[in-house]
Structure 1
Amino acid sequence: MDRMEPPVGHIRFPEARENVISALRSLADKTYQEQERGVYRKEVSRYDDLSLTVNLLYDHQVLPNPADCIGDVLFPSEVEPLLCLSKVLEPLIEELGDRPDLDYMKDPRWTLVVEAAVVALTVFDQNDTSV
């Protein structure tokens, strides 16, 4: 049975989309990362760390196969930027695993992750303002 496509401009799970956008904002902001990683935030009762950010992207299944989320969490134009993010993020995850956030941020490839997240976030922001 074919899955029915949602109307253009409609996202089935907007709360999940907001979580994805939050994760992208965290990955796209290097200054925030340097200041906030591992800091306990009383107002949200949690630590902000890379594993939480990355888990949001995988829990909502936008990585590694974003095309599967079109209409549920993503618009079609967001697939390619997320594939680019996945392409630079996954090798780091595979290589560094559960190492501390600082190890990720010190890796010379981290700049590519930040840049890819900025591009993806820009596309998300454009889509959200045009809907």
Structure 2
Amino acid sequence: MTDVEFPEMRENVLSAVRAFSDVEYQNRVWLRREYPHEGYFDDFSLNLNILYDDTLVLEDPVSALGKVLRSHEEVSAMAELAEGIDSVLREEGYGRSDAEYLRSPYWAGVLTAAFRAYSVLAA
């Protein structure tokens, strides 16, 4: 499958997954609030909402196949990312600060899964 029904949504997914995969970006933008330009905003919750609520790629990766995801490999990678994020939320709880999530001993699993997912999605 080479095309998707919602390419703009896919771009949002790529951006959110990239944010979850890059600890330097997270520290610079999410924690220190050093934005690349005026009017820019990004944080943990925004990216979580993109992946769970707006596009459903983490809620139900299989249903996103053909709509936002291109292959079963992408579905698998997003399922792994969902598992990593769910683990952090389960252990740390909801409503924590970005800094608290990033300090979690479970955050490394998110970084690893997001890096793999981004590698697959961007290929």
Q: TM-score, normalising length from structure 2?
A: 0.89
Instruction: Give 1:124's aligned residue.
Output: 121
Q: Which has the larger radius of gyration?
A: 1
Write the mapping of 1:1-131 to structure 2, written as runs, cut at 5 A.
8-38=1-31, 39=33, 41=35, 43=37, 45-58=39-52, 59-76=54-71, 77-94=73-90, 95-126=92-123
Task: Give the RMSD, CA atoms, in angstroms.
Answer: 1.6
- 4+ runs of 1 displaced by more than 3 Å? 40-44
- Tell me, yes or no, if the aligned pair for 1:28 and 1:117 is still in contact at 8 Å: yes
Instruction: Give 1:129's aligned residue.
Output: none
Q: TM-score, normalising length from structure 1?
A: 0.84
Q: Deviations over 1:43-100 (max 9, x none)?
A: 4624311000110101101012101011110012201111111111113224420110
Unpaired runs of 5+ residues, structure 1, are 1-7, 127-131
How many pairs are equivalent?
Answer: 119
* Alpha-carbon distance change, 40 to 31 in structure 1, aligned in 2, over 3 angstroms: closer
Offset at residue 108 of structure 1 (A):
0.8
